[in-house]
Structure 1
Amino acid sequence: MLVKSAEFVTSAVKPTQYPEALLPEVAFAGRSNVGKSSLINTLVNRKRLVKTSSTPGRTQLINFFTVNQNLSLVDLPGYGYARVPESVRRHWGPMIETYLKGRETLRAVVLILDIRRIPGIEEQNFIDWLSLYGRAAILVLTKADKLSKSAQKKQRRAIAGALNVDETALTLFSAKTRQGLPQVWSAIERVTGDE
């Protein structure tokens, strides 16, 4: 996709704060510090549209962005390890679930996984939950540049096995080298009908 414009719209914690549901939406989810913000910034070809941080758990709200005035990208708070108070973490679950269950314009969720880590039960549960609610999942393995080509293949196979999905369902991605960028956009365009 040729990105002509990308802008921040709003942050929200509840449906009354969401922007009007006019555009197809694709949400981005993953563990804290998995490279979610870097992936979105690379997709829209901006360095700092989405704030990145080395401190896990920086995204604490649901952040809405508009691309080319015809697509909405939604950055969800990371789950798992995060340096935030427990009370804040407990609030994230219901906030994210409310969005994922009820947002009528949501077309897919990009689940971001660090290629160097074998996913656990949280990721499998998340994929099962998306399936239960009829939400398409786009699976992306970030930080591919941190591994050699042979190690990438080996990890991709192991992650596919852990998630019980076909290897071809996992897109290798690197914000640094831009590996996988066209494939991620293709997957987004398929689910938003923008091919």
Structure 2
Amino acid sequence: MFKRAEFVKSVYKLEDLPPPEYPEIVILGRSNAGKSSFINALFNTRKLARVSSTPGFTQALNFFLIDGRFLMVDLPGYGFAKVSKEVYLNWQKLIEGYLQSIRDFRLLILIFDIRRKPDPLDRALIKFIKALNKPFIVVLNKIDTLSKGELEAQKNIYLKELSLPEKIIFPLSCKEKRGFEALKRFILHIFKT
């Protein structure tokens, strides 16, 4: 489905953003939700996004060009990152400034670890994203760690606590590469309309 994914640049300051010449898909999530693993699994590679056992490893906006058609942008994680308050506030300013800038945002992908229950930080993220009035979906990662019954129960918690419609929920496993076909079809459909 996706043939070529290449790293473009890392951005640490808003003035260094690349020109908005491509539509963009943005990845957001907690520091330990598996964002880098998600990007690598989505594009069937092991080395596009660097996976780290240290939460908060992604410290910039990382831009990847996909098939010469759109940019995938990986944002710094929130929550468990082991960084100073100053660095964290700089990330917040960078992320919010980027998401509020005038660019062709086609989709925001919010990644959550399905084993956790949403907390105030997660609710704040959803509130902020809804206020942006941009299309978004929710990926519930790490379904391989739960039984079918547990998976349904956790999915329902996210639907209820974050007031989400079921059609925007995508449960998947980066480790086992389960659930990606539906997501890839959804992404490709965005560029057909």
The TM-score, its normalising length taken from structure 2, stands at: 0.94
Structure 1 segment 9-88 matched on structure 2, within 5 A = 9-88=8-87
- Does 32-41 or 102-111 show the bigger shift? 102-111
Matched residue, 2:6: 7
Amino acid at match of 2:36: S
Note the alpha carbon deviations across 1:37-76, whole angstroms, 9 max, x for none.
Answer: 0001111111010000111000010000011010110000
Distance 1:6 1:169 in 2: 25
Note the alpha carbon deviations across 1:13-51, whole angstroms, 9 max, x for none.
Answer: 223212221111000000111000000111111101000
In the alignment, structure 2 segments of 5+ residues that lack a partner are none
In the alignment, structure 1 segments of 5+ residues that lack a partner are none
Query: Residue 194 in 1 paired to residue 187 in 2?
Result: no
Matched residue, 1:91: 90
Amino acid at match of 2:48: L
Maintained 8 Å contact 2:136/2:168: no
Q: CA deviation at 1:169?
A: 2.5
Matched residue, 2:182: 183
Maintained 8 Å contact 1:29/1:77: yes
C-alpha spacing 1:103/1:183, structure 2 compared with 1 (3 Å): farther
Maintained 8 Å contact 2:6/2:66: yes
Q: CA deviation at 1:3?
A: 1.5
Distance 2:188 2:137 in 1: 11
The TM-score, its normalising length taken from structure 1, stands at: 0.93
The share of aligned pairs that are identical, in percent, is 37
- Is the partner of 2:52 in helix, strand or coil? coil
- Is the partner of 1:57 in helix, strand or coil? coil
Maintained 8 Å contact 1:138/1:187: no
Q: CA deviation at 1:187?
A: 2.9
Q: CA deviation at 1:103?
A: 4.0
Number of equivalences: 193
- Does 46-55 or 162-171 show the bigger shift? 162-171
Distance 1:32 1:153 in 2: 24
Provide the aligned C-alpha RMSD in A: 1.4
The structure 1 segments of at least 4 consecutive aligned residues displaced by more than 4 Å after TM superposition are none
